[in-house]
Structure 1
Amino acid sequence: MTDPQIAIAMLGIFIFLVFLGFPIAFTLMAMGIGFGYYAYFDPSRMWRTYNRLAEDASIFEQIRLWIDGFFTNRIFDLFVNQTYTVMSNEVLTAIPLFLFMGYIVERANIVERLFTTLNIAAKNIPGSLGVAALITCMFFATATGIVGAVVTLMGLLALPAMLRARYDHSFASGIICAGGTLGILIPPSIMLIVYAAASGVSIVRLYAAALLPGLLLTGLYLIYVVSRSIAQPHVAPKPAPGEIPEVPLGKLLVMVFTSFVPLAFLILSVLGSILFGLATPTEAASIGALGGLFLAVVYRALTWQRLRESVYLTVRTTAMVCWLFVGSYTFSSVFSYLGGENLIAHFVEGLDLSPVTFLILAQLIIFLLGWPLEWSEIIIIFVPIFLPLLDQFGVDPLFFGVLVALNLQTSFLTPPMAMSAYYLKGIAPAQVKLTEIFKGCMPYLVMVIIAMVLVYVFPQIVFWLPGLVYG
């Protein structure tokens, strides 16, 4: 076999092992080191080490020299260097800070206050509970960026309220599942940070580019919820008299000020400081983490137990992302060194694709990868395979990143591997069936596709804000 064929076999074995359930980060590292040992093997260097073996050397000296000879391979230097590169990456430093902000906000009871306030404020809108749940999901998902946390907490908070209000099971479930995924698109998104680190695109420009598409998708979700509530009133019955308490305007304004304004101010201050160049993403994330702690203190929700849980979950998630980067960098370096990247590039060139066809093919592959894989694995492992091809087809990496972020919404909503549905089913009442949750997710897939088409047809949705702010 030639080196490029070995590289393709390496990729195929990795995908096979992932489907068997092996941990992705450690599989990447093992595959990278294993195939890298072959790729960087230098017999002359090893024989020079073995020739140092003396006949009268002690057994311990011989063992030491044999071990030294075995590790005389550049793959181990590469692995160490890649680990250091990830540890010193300034873009990735923002990840644990944003995660900590999200976990603190999750435990500060802010979300419950926000949902209650929005439910009262939107009571005259068709599907008011669904609208309140969707907007709450958007703000909470933006603050935390963790799909599982948003879907789980909103499933415990909003789903029982919608079921008590006689909402259709699938309609209510779809709102929570779709709303919970918005945080990986709307800045400050952790997914966009990871894409920026993998692609070299400016995270500041990427945040600006993703803001309008994120609001566009949220708007499409809201239009669908309200329109279906009007067209099919039985899926979202109007609240019965007295079901939602009457609150005087003054008290409602106080509720909005104490629930909606603090979280919105925290998110906008973090995002605004990044977009207007007042702070780097890492500095803004530090402000956000401190602001989350401050809100938890103000709401009297900061306890030692909650602080410890937040720190533990932050460290665990950050470690997972960083080890994925280490494994991916090692794997991709060996894959490229063996010629796998060039082989794929030549294959795509031979297909004679137009830019539109290339984008459709790339997004289709990412859509299919979203079934068995999380967004982090897709961004870190597979998106870099497409990045070298963007220049060939004249596709801006900024535009491609926003399309990928939109596309990855579907990875959480598409049966049979819709992770949002499984998160919700894990905490939903027994009468809510998994098939009903799947059914509720399907209309939002159509909304995502519509958003992707609009972004492609009107690319200024992506480029207008970065051009306005940064030129």
Structure 2
Amino acid sequence: MLFSLTNPEVAIFMMGIFLFAVLLGFPIAFTLMAMGIGFGYYAYYDPALMDHIFDNRIFSLFVKNTYTVMDNNVLTAVPLFLFMGYLVERAGIVSKLFFAIRLAAHRLPASMAVAALITCTLFSTATGIIGAVVTLMGLLAWPAMVKAGYDKKFASGVICAGGCLGILIPPSIMLIVYSVIAQLSPLRLFAAAIFPGLLLAGLYIAYAVGRAWLQPSIAPKPRAEDIPPRAEILKEVLVSFVPLFGLIMLVLGTILAGIATPAEAAAAGAFGAILLSWFYKTLKWQSFKESVFLTAKTTAMIMWLFIGSWTFSSVFSYLGGHEIFEHFFTSIEISTWQFLIITQVIIFLLGWPLEWTEILIIFVPIFLPLLEVFDVNPYFFAMLIALNLQTSFLTPPMAMSAYYLKGVQKKNVELMEIFAGIMPFLGIVIFAMFLMYMFPGIALWLPETLFAN
């Protein structure tokens, strides 16, 4: 059948089989490798150059891709940031932080929701692992909010939305991966993501406060007798907030100031997480071993995804798959804003069956060559993608953040209640994308200012 098709048709057929296999539940990394090697064998098949069955260029391509991933200096930061996040998660730092911010914000409407969102923002900065953030905050903040009388839907939306900020706010593993795929500076991507990340977190907090002010029954205020003296609140904030915030600023500051590469800053952050665990007297051998194991496991998954997707993308491009998309977009005579809307809608829809890693590594490279055609700043486009990927975790019926929360709360909340709670936050993400499109300086001002020379 394949030999009766043109190469571009084979490329589309290859993509269709991959999506079908993913929907059936096959492991994505190994499906990519199987598709890449299988169709690559056809693409590079040349009987005149073959002495035996394994004499095909696809095998050397696969080996070279594996070596390239192992030899990539930027990707060295991935396991170090993962280790930093897992250690912070297991050190009990987040529970102290949530308690301190909750006390400091007690005068605000929905003070516990505000505390949860700020904690999610800081914890997301330290880890960037959405499943870890939503799970931990689902065990820590969600029961506390419900016990205080908060509406379950409202509390669920806060936890799910706040937990997704990790792939946007730097130092983000997603941005490191994007920098490798798009051949962009990770420093500029980190700088570009700071204001969009803070904007989205700020919009979440504004919504929580405004909703509680208009509808006080969904987020009752804490009782006066539950609030300790101001001196005790200040002490809790200093002990819990300042060290973790200082660690984050150390990592981000050294990167943005050009003092350290992302890998070097990640190493400093990992060492700082060990010191924080020692400072809080929570550094235990068991939690240290778990952090190392989970770091190795997650890193291996990401790296195999890279190897598989690069092999897949190389074959897809060699067969002419990318040319089909480029010809389509250039032939329909659309403007820049229409191109951006079409691409973002495609990314939004892909977020239902796929995770951000597959979307970035497989599909974003299809659009990257078109940015020059439509005169789109690559860093601006990266921030649109980063914001849009938030929706892949918040859009029912495949909203993974909802399933993470449901997994830890089981019978305490229904899945439909979680879906109902996250819908307003999904609208906020789309609104943030609109704001950034109208005011590109939200993403571009800081990198242009910091790296003007």
Taking structure 2 as the reference length, the TM-score comes to 0.98
Q: What is the correspondence of 1:373-388 to structure 2 with a 5 Å cutoff?
A: 373-388=354-369
Residue 73 (structure 1) aligned with residue 50 (structure 2): no
**Structure 2 counterpart of 1:21, which letter?**
G
Residue 245 (structure 1) aligned with residue 227 (structure 2): yes
Q: Deviations over 1:60-92 (max 9, x none)?
A: xxxxxxxxx111111101000010011111111
Alignment match of 1:8 (pick from 12, 27, 30): 12
Structure 1 Cα separation of the partners of residues 281 and 412 of structure 2: 35
| 1:389 corresponds to | 370
**Structure 2 counterpart of 1:31, which letter?**
M
- Tell me the CA shift for residue 251 of structure 1: 2.4
SS of the aligned residue for 1:237 comes to: coil
- Structure 1: which 4+ aligned runs deviate by more than 4 Å? none
Structure 1 Cα separation of the partners of residues 382 and 179 of structure 2: 8
Return 426-435 or 108-117, whichever deviates more: 426-435
Alignment match of 2:262 (pick from 281, 288, 294): 281
Task: Extract unaligned runs of 5+ from structure 1.
Answer: 50-68
Structure 2 Cα separation of the partners of residues 201 and 333 of structure 1: 19
Structure 1 Cα separation of the partners of residues 286 and 450 of structure 2: 42
Q: What is the correspondence of 1:112-191 to structure 2 with a 5 Å cutoff?
A: 112-191=95-174
Structure 1 Cα separation of the partners of residues 150 and 332 of structure 2: 49
Q: Deviations over 1:204-234 (max 9, x none)?
A: 0000001001001111001000000000001
- Tell me the CA shift for residue 339 of structure 1: 1.1
Q: What is the correspondence of 1:38-437 to structure 2 with a 5 Å cutoff?
A: 38-46=42-50, 49=51, 69-242=52-225, 244-247=226-229, 249-428=230-409, 430-437=411-418
Structure 1 Cα separation of the partners of residues 143 and 224 of structure 2: 19
Structure 2 Cα separation of the partners of residues 384 and 349 of structure 1: 16
Structure 2 Cα separation of the partners of residues 263 and 172 of structure 1: 25
Q: Deviations over 1:320-359 (max 9, x none)?
A: 1100110111111111111111122112211211110110
- Rg (Cα) greater in structure: 1
Structure 2 Cα separation of the partners of residues 408 and 346 of structure 1: 26
- Tell me the CA shift for residue 312 of structure 1: 0.6
Q: Deviations over 1:116-154 (max 9, x none)?
A: 111111111111111111111111111110001001111
Q: Deviations over 1:168-220 (max 9, x none)?
A: 01001100000000111010000000111100010000000010010011110
SS of the aligned residue for 2:109 comes to: coil
- Tell me the CA shift for residue 252 of structure 1: 2.1
Structure 2 Cα separation of the partners of residues 297 and 237 of structure 1: 37
SS of the aligned residue for 2:118 comes to: helix
Structure 1 Cα separation of the partners of residues 119 and 443 of structure 2: 25
Task: Extract unaligned runs of 5+ from structure 2.
Answer: none
**Structure 1 counterpart of 2:249, which letter?**
L
| 1:455 corresponds to | 436
Percent identical = 63
SS of the aligned residue for 2:180 comes to: helix
- Tell me the CA shift for residue 429 of structure 1: 5.5
| 1:61 corresponds to | none
Structure 1 Cα separation of the partners of residues 9 and 414 of structure 2: 46
Structure 1 Cα separation of the partners of residues 206 and 231 of structure 2: 29
Structure 1 Cα separation of the partners of residues 344 and 410 of structure 2: 35
- Tell me the CA shift for residue 257 of structure 1: 1.3
- Tell me the CA shift for residue 241 of structure 1: 3.5
